[in-house]
Every structure is written in structure tokens, then in C-alpha cells.
Amino acid sequence: MTMSRAASASISGFTFLRHGVKLGFPFEASIRSILPLVDEFVIALGAGEDATEARIHALAAEQPKIRILPTRWNERMAEKGFVYAQQKMIAQYACTGDWAFYLEGDEVLHEAELPAIRAAVDRHHGNPAVEALVFEYLHFYGSPEWLAVSPAWYRRECRLIRNTIRSYAPDGQFWVVMDRHRRGRHPQAALAGAHIYHYGHVRRLDYMQAKMDQVSKYWSHQPPKMAYSIDPQALRRFEGTHPACVADWLAHDAETAFTPDPAHPLTRRERKHRKAMVLERWFGLDLSHKHYKLVA
């Protein structure tokens, strides 16, 4: 599917990636899911030790929209994930579209929602007050059948931002808009009317352990022994359909043996989030963290 859009806003997609094969990312499904929507897709591709680079180059040979920027990660840049911000911005600064769409290697778009995303860009492109578009998140946890829904998990996040404003990423997750000297703020945003399907927490446990070993270097802590363990009240069963392009990855690389444990011992943080969920139900609140301000 290719989306037709004469004389409308252009969109660049972008990401950064290294060791996607070793860490079990569904990165090929992620890239394929966004290609029909964008005019180009920029990848900051870090030098690594697995087959990720070869597979990305093979995909780029098949898909002319893909542009690869070879990078080398600064392993000493370990303070609170800042190396992720560096790699994210290398890719974003190379984007040429009116809008820049950031999609991480474990995030996938549903083919049924691409027209809604395109319509949201067209609807808000002429309104400079809207600087970004916010997506609803589906955080799969333990297996593709379960969603993490407590306020411990961000329920919405910006993934599309105007590429004509001054912005930067403090880490891999969000943006700060710099419209005043030395002062930043969250982007002003509108709802995209679509979802991000986040599969980072359904990878096979061997992949997850490899990821935790790597991530710990960039967040300055010791890696935990990986196991899928969570408050069962923080989960609900997924009733929808997964994007078609991720079906093969789900069949071969996702964890499937997980079931919620009713005897799961609650951590202090989980007790806090249980209380927060009660308040949300009572008062119709959303107590999850937000990195944006809705203006439309």
C-alpha cells in the first residue's frame, strides 16, 4: 500500500538501531509498517557484532525510501540513556520532511490506522500551534495476549513532530522544544487518532536478558535477572488484532508461555500504582506521565 498525497505535508520517518538481531527487536516489521506513510525513512545504524547491519542493507536494497547513516556509539556516554538521545538526533537531523516520525525498533504501526495518521497530519499541518502528534500506546507484556495498563506505563507519547521547529531529545523517549533561550518545554500537541503497538516486553526471555545487560550500561545500574513478573491487576487481555507485518516475529521471537501470577508479591512501586489505578477509576483521571501539552 502506498498513500497518495498531492501537495500536502511531507513526512520523514526515522529511527536508530544497533544489535537489533541480538536483542530480538522486530525492527524489520517496524520499518515496513511505517514505509507506506512516509516519503523517506532515515536510520542511524550503529556498528555492531550481529547481522543487523546486513539485514538493514538488504531491506534498503528492496525499499528505496530507506536512507542509512552509519554511526559508531560512544560507549562512554552512559549517563541516563543519553547515547540514545544522541543517536535519535543524528537520524532526526538528517530528515528532510515537514514532519518527522520517530518509531523505535520494537514499535509497530497497524496498517488499518495509517489513513488516520495521514489525515491527522493534514488536519493540523496548517495550525502552527500544533507542534506534535500524540499516539495511544499498547504496551504488550509477557506475551502478545496481555497489555500493561497501570500508570507506571506511559499511555500516550509524541512520535510525530514538526521538523521545522527547534527540538531535541533528552533521551530516546521524548522531545523538548527550545523556543526560548536556554529554556525548554514539552511540545504542544494534538491526538493522532492511532496507536503504537509496543512489543519490547514480549521478546523471548533470552533476548530480554541481552537487552537488560546492554541497557544497564547506559543507565548506570546493575542488570537484573530477567523474568516477566508483574502485578496481575496492572494487566488486561488484548482483544484486538496485531499488525499483519509483525505476525512472523510474533510466531518465532515472542514469549508465549507467560500467564499472570495471582500470587505475585507486590513491590512498593506496584502498591503505589494500584492505589493510583483506584483513584483513576473513582475520578476518571489519567495519572500516567506525559511529555506534551494537548492544545487541539
Going residue by residue through the chain (296 aa), what tens digit of pLDDT does each one get? Answer: 555 444 589 999 999 999 999 999 999 999 999 999 999 999 999 999 999 999 999 999 999 999 999 999 987 775 656 888 999 999 999 999 999 999 999 999 999 999 999 999 999 999 999 999 999 999 999 999 999 999 999 999 999 999 999 998 887 789 999 987 778 899 999 999 999 999 999 998 888 777 676 666 555 555 566 679 999 999 999 999 999 999 999 999 999 889 999 999 999 999 999 999 999 999 999 999 999 999 98
- 1: in domain: no
- 2: in domain: no
3-state secondary structure the chain: CCCCCCCCCCEEEEEEECCCCCCCCCHHHHHHHHCCCCCEEEEEEECCCCCHHHHHHHHHHHCCCEEEEEECCCCCCCHHHHHHHHHHHHHHHCCCCCEEEECCCCEECCHHHHHHHHHHHHHHCCCCCCCEEEEEEEEEECEEEEEECCCCCCCEEEEEEECCCCEECCCCCCCEEEEECCEEECCEEEEEEEEEEEEEECECHHHHHHHHHHHHHHCCCCCCCCCCCCCHHHEEECCCCCCHHHHHHHHHHECCCCCCCCCCCCCHHHHHHHHHHHHHHHHCCCCCCCCCEECC
- 225: in domain: yes
Q: Is 111 exposed, middle or buried (0-12, 13-18, 19+ CB in 10 A)?
A: middle
Grid coordinates representing 44 are 542511524
What total number of domains does the chain contain? 1
- 229: in domain: yes
Q: Classify each residue of 63-72 as buried b or exposed e, where b means 16 or more C-beta atoms within 10 Å of its C-beta.
A: eebbbbbebe
- 218: in domain: yes
- Which domain CATH number covers 45? 3.90.550
Q: What is the pLDDT of residue 171?
A: 78
- 228: in domain: yes
- 165: in domain: yes
Cα 220 to Cα 198: distance, rounded to the nearest angstrom: 24
HSE-CB for 178 with a 13 A CA cutoff? 8
The answer to whether 22 and 109 are in contact (CB under 8 A) is: no
- 78: in domain: yes
| Greatest extent of the chain over all pairs of C-alpha atoms, in Å | 57
205 is in which domain, residue-wise?
7-295
